[in-house]
Structure 1
Amino acid sequence: MAIWRLSVIFLSLFTVWSSANPQCDTHVDCKTCVNNKSWIGKNCRWCPLDRNCHADGSPLNPCLQNQNVKDAAKCQEMKYGKYDPKAAFSYTLMSAAAYTNDPQKCLRKIYPTGDFVIKNIIRHSCEDLPLFKYEECFAYTAVSNKKRIIAVAFRGTVINSLQIYDQIISILTTPKTSFPTGGNVQRYFANAYQKLYQGVNASVTSLVRQYPAYDVVVTGHSLGGAIASLAAVSLVYQKLVPVNRMYLYTYGLPRVGDKQYALNHDRLLNNSWRVVHNRDIVSHLPTCNIFTGCFFPSNGPYHHRTEVFYPDQTMNQGSQYIQCKGDDDEKCSDGMITRKPCIIDLSKCIKYHEYYFGIRVGTLCDGS
């Protein structure tokens, strides 16, 4: 009987104590998080990659040890711009124009009012391995005086070419390389970026001087999105474009770099929109970590913010979307592809990658 009474007293005291120290995941902002303790009595910590509060030692915290915020003085407010679905559709068209060798002709077709005028075309041999020879790395800059926009669009992977084999083999066999903004990125993406960035940098610098009040929009689909990610963050990091005038819109973006690259990207760009259509397979490559996945404190490829997830199988301009909280968010495309992996219907997952807002991005202007 005495043991029973002691058990009841202990359980009552534990209930009172644990209710005064609730689970860390009940806290929704950084300062509240780090100023409270978990039920085991240790201070909670804030992970800026998933924007969640975690208990000390939690295995479901994606942040590396040095990325966790434990001091309220180090909490940084995460500023967001505003996602514009109409603009997202418009920049999908600009990404499509980058797949052609005559983007001005394509732009005249898709913008019949003559909004955008090509200023520079930058192209370079893009092969990473000596096994393959082709010329596919391509970008253009354009200006719309009507919209007061300087646009930079990068070409994505040309599926029916040697480039896709070069890209796959390079990602699987070559190590990551460091990037000036911090962290490591896939070497193939870094090489493609370096081959185009000098020309893009020169063009954007000149255009910003001519049109200092214009916004700069950087965009791309697939590989083009990866190069766009690196270019946009570099233009802001080098202070060539003010952060309040930089907009990044990507479509079917693969994971560009590791968790430190993702974190630094998040801190530098607040108008960064990563549009994902349903179970687009490319958006989940390379995999976060072959053993632990995306939601554990181990390093590996990781997305930067902000995912805008369109869950409908048929995506159009009026489709509903989710602005996701975490960089790799299990409540968005990660969760969908985990529940239904692209195994027996891989061709459908590839189709999700090819089609955004109802258009096949890589072939929209074929024959125009």
Structure 2
Amino acid sequence: MNKYLITLIFSVITLATIAYAQVIPAPIPVFEPQIALGCLIMSYSGYCQENVLQAFPCPNCAKTPAWNSFFGGKVPSNIVQGEGLEWYSFEFGLAFYFATIRDNTAAVLTFRGTDNRWNIAEDLLFMQRSYPWVAGARVHRGIYNAWDDIRFLVMTKLRRFMNEKCLTCSTIYVTGHSLGGGLATFAAIDVAKAYQPQGINVIAYSFGSPRVGNMAFVQHFQKIVPNNFRVVNGLDNIPHMPLPRLDLDVFGETDYIHVTNEVWLHSNVTGPESAFVYNTTLECQGNENPSCSASAQIPWTDFDSSYLFWRYHRSYFGFYLPSYCHGWFQTPILESGSNTNTVSTNTTTL
């Protein structure tokens, strides 16, 4: 496809996003960068094979700011994959796992992101369907169907996990990257409904999540899960999809808007290394604040290779996803002296 045509398409995406952005006034919960980094580590771990995951693939965790504040100075324990996971991996390509942190005072429910052809099919099935729990709410058909397929299994195993492994837990983190972020958004509603009445705090962190619903769904989500953070890294293109509005002719119209509490990892650095560097963390009021990632324009040169296209999506907080399960080492860019493995403290609220 002509590069200039691709550039034009993404320019239209950006303009449509800004034009359609609707700000829902809501108090922003406290964003803790170290907690976010810990959730990212758990989300990245979801891509690892079972034998790697059981050993928890993070030899460098102790060197990160998340080591004490999120992990409590110890590697996660009680790592349990949902029973039936292999069957689901074969049929639907979905994966999730549970773990406890901070001496069994907090639990983490993690969903793996896009990892196979089944996941790609779920990502691309963006025609909307009704959300059965809220009148007028419509959601991403592929991602919600994926959640609905495993909803009973996840909630049943979570109940058993909490009763057997985490009786002293006062917090549940629900997290995921990419498709896993979309699944975490839907899951957080059910987890919050089940555990917040018991006095357990439910906090959701997603990384590079696509849009998953319309305004009616978003308002419902924000009422049930106010402690939600949607982290976007620089020029990551996935959070700009699906488009806010499309007329799909025989399939009908789609109407999308993001959930609130975006945190944009932003940098004024240009060039190939910009995906691994951020010097400003913007906490953005509203759903799609035009001063945050909605203002980003993806350069046409990012379509020259798959690496350039995916670099922002795979390098949250400066850590490179493709290397994670193979020793969890930082990229050469980080090793050459960049300080991006230190969570930014230059946080601004817009």
**Which residue of structure 2 aligns with residue 106 of structure 1?**
56
- Kindly indicate whether the alpha-carbon contact (under 8 Å) linking 1:228 and 1:248 is maintained by their aligned counterparts in 2: yes
**Which residue of structure 2 aligns with residue 142 of structure 1?**
99
Deviation at 1:321, TM superposition (A): 0.6
The change in CA–CA distance for 1:241 and 1:287 in structure 2 (over 3 A counts) is farther
Separation in 2, partners of 1:211, 1:315: 40
Deviation at 1:290, TM superposition (A): 3.8
Separation in 2, partners of 1:126, 1:186: 20
Separation in 2, partners of 1:79, 1:367: 40
Tell me the C-alpha RMSD between the 2 structures. Answer: 3.2
Give structure 1 stretches of 5+ with no counterpart: 1-59, 69-76, 128-132, 292-297
Deviation at 1:169, TM superposition (A): 3.8
Separation in 1, partners of 2:277, 2:290: 24
TM-score (norm 2): 0.70
Separation in 2, partners of 1:104, 1:222: 22
Whichever structure has more helix as a proportion of its residues is 2
The change in CA–CA distance for 1:87 and 1:317 in structure 2 (over 3 A counts) is farther
Provide Cα deviations, 1:36-68, integer angstroms capped at 9, x if missing partner: xxxxxxxxxxxxxxxxxxxxxxxx6756xxx99
Tell me, yes or no, if structure 1 residue 82 matches structure 2 residue 30: yes
Deviation at 1:178, TM superposition (A): 1.5
Separation in 2, partners of 1:84, 1:135: 34
Aligned-partner residue type, residue 106 of structure 1: F
TM-score (norm 1): 0.67
Q: What is the number of residues matched between the two proteins?
A: 281
**Which residue of structure 1 aligns with residue 78 of structure 2?**
118
The change in CA–CA distance for 1:211 and 1:224 in structure 2 (over 3 A counts) is same
Separation in 2, partners of 1:193, 1:95: 17
Rg larger for: 1
Separation in 1, partners of 2:198, 2:31: 18
Tell me, yes or no, if structure 1 residue 357 matches structure 2 residue 317: yes
Tell me, yes or no, if structure 1 residue 178 matches structure 2 residue 178: no
- Report % sequence identity: 20
Tell me, yes or no, if structure 1 residue 245 matches structure 2 residue 193: no
Give structure 2 stretches of 5+ with no counterpart: 1-18, 63-72, 248-252, 329-350
- Kindly indicate whether the alpha-carbon contact (under 8 Å) linking 1:150 and 1:207 is maintained by their aligned counterparts in 2: no
Deviation at 1:349, TM superposition (A): 4.5
Q: 2:281 aligns with which of 316, 321, 326?
A: 321
| SS of residue paired to 1:137 | coil
Q: 1:311 aligns with which of 242, 266, 283?
A: 266
- Kindly indicate whether the alpha-carbon contact (under 8 Å) linking 1:221 and 1:361 is maintained by their aligned counterparts in 2: no
Q: 1:300 aligns with which of 243, 255, 263?
A: 255
Q: 1:268 aligns with which of 224, 239, 242?
A: 224
Deviation at 1:82, TM superposition (A): 0.9
The change in CA–CA distance for 1:320 and 1:360 in structure 2 (over 3 A counts) is same
The change in CA–CA distance for 1:304 and 1:355 in structure 2 (over 3 A counts) is same
